[in-house]
Amino acid sequence: MDVIAHYQPIVDLVTNRMVGCEALARWCAADGSVRPPDDQIAAIEADPERAGALVEDVLRCIGRDLGAFLERTRDFYVSFNTPPILLGDGRGLQRMEKAGLIGLIPRLVVEITERQALSEVGRAAIRAGRAIGLRVALDDFGTGQSGMQQLIGLEIDTLKIDRSFVVPLNRDISAERLIRAIVAFAAILRQKVLAEGVETREQALFLRAAGVDYGQGWYWAKAMPAEELIGCFGRPLA
């Protein structure tokens, strides 16, 4: 089965314009149908060999699909997901080189889930990623089991607030307060905040008023092929 990548816009909540995108792996069957690997991600991540192959495939897609676009634009980044064990294995630069991304490392953001980031392996991976010049986003923020104390010393650029905080907005005052608390917390830590899974205008307006920097979700766009994404660049998505 061939791996391809689709790209979901990440927008500035004030302008509704794209500041970047997240690369999401898709499987392309022989009949041409494309589907997300969601049900298999856990199994793939448990096997370092398969996980490594998937990350390499996604990086290769980014290089091929968006390399030239990244070269001719500025202030646009591409994020990709990786299990920390891969980032810490000392082969980060080699993978970038293989994907033709060596000169574009400053335009890439690596997403690590909160749960995985807080372990020793996660911490080492974040250091290794930063050492080669990647920015780091903490994915699924707020869903980990760990205390805030464990965030001490983590060098993170962006917190990605999990969709489970966004869904209850405008219905649940505690979700709204939590979002405001995360914004204050991130400001003190000098981190940007991105809300995931935004589906409605009401959610987007709340998040913007609360001071969240960026949004990602079906309200603006689903993940799409690179040509389509490039066509969206520069114009407001909502």
Q: List the structure tokens of 172.
A: 């649940």
When binding is defined by CB under 6 A, the residue of 199, 211, 224, 225 that contacts ligand G is: 199
Residue 185: count of CB within 10 angstroms of its CB:
14
Report DSSP state, residue 75.
S
The owner of tokens 């979901």 is 8
Q: Does 81 bind ligand G (CB under 6 A)?
A: yes
Q: Which does 213 bind (CB under 5 to 8 A by kind): ligand G, Mn ion, none?
A: none
Max Cα-Cα span within the chain:
51
Asked if residue 129 binds ligand G (CB under 6 A), the reply is no
Q: Do the beta carbons of residue 63 and residue 39 sit within 8 Å?
A: no
Amino acid at position 101, single letter: L
Choose, by CB under 5 A, the member of 45, 65, 111, 114 that binds Mn ion: 111
Residues 4-43 that bind ligand G (CB under 6 A): 8, 22, 24, 36, 38
Instruction: Compute the least distance from the CB of residue 68 to ligand G, in Å.
Output: 25
The span from the CA of 96 to the CA of 101, in Å, is 5
How near is the Cβ of 179 to ligand G at its closest, in Å?
Answer: 16
Nearer to ligand G among residue 184 and residue 205 (C-beta): 205
| Spatial separation of the C-alpha atoms in residues 236 and 6, rounded to whole Å | 20
Contact status: 45 vs Mn ion (CB under 5 A): no
Residue 140 touches which of Mn ion, ligand G, none (CB < 5 to 8 A by kind)? ligand G
CB of 160 to ligand G, least distance (A): 7
Angle at 115 between CA 114 and CA 119, to 5 degrees: 105
Contact assessment for residue 198 and residue 219, using Cβ atoms and an 8 Å cutoff: yes
The closest residue (CB) to ligand G is 217
Q: How far apart are CA 49 and CA 10, in angstroms?
A: 30
Judged by CB under 5 A, the stretch of 32-40, 106-114, 180-188, 202-210 that binds Mn ion is 106-114
Give the binding range for ligand G (CB under 6 A) out of 11-19, 86-94, 193-201, 203-211. Answer: 193-201
Which of ligand G, Mn ion, none interacts with 179 (beta carbon under 5 to 8 A by kind)?
Answer: none
Piece in contact with Mn ion (CB under 5 A), picked from 25-33, 78-86, 100-108, 186-194: 78-86
- Interface residue with ligand G among 197, 207, 210, 215 (CB under 6 A) is 197
* Residues that bind ligand G in the complex, under the rule CB under 6 A: 8, 22, 24, 36, 38, 81, 139-140, 196-199, 217-218, 223
* Residues that bind Mn ion in the complex, under the rule CB under 5 A: 81, 111, 139
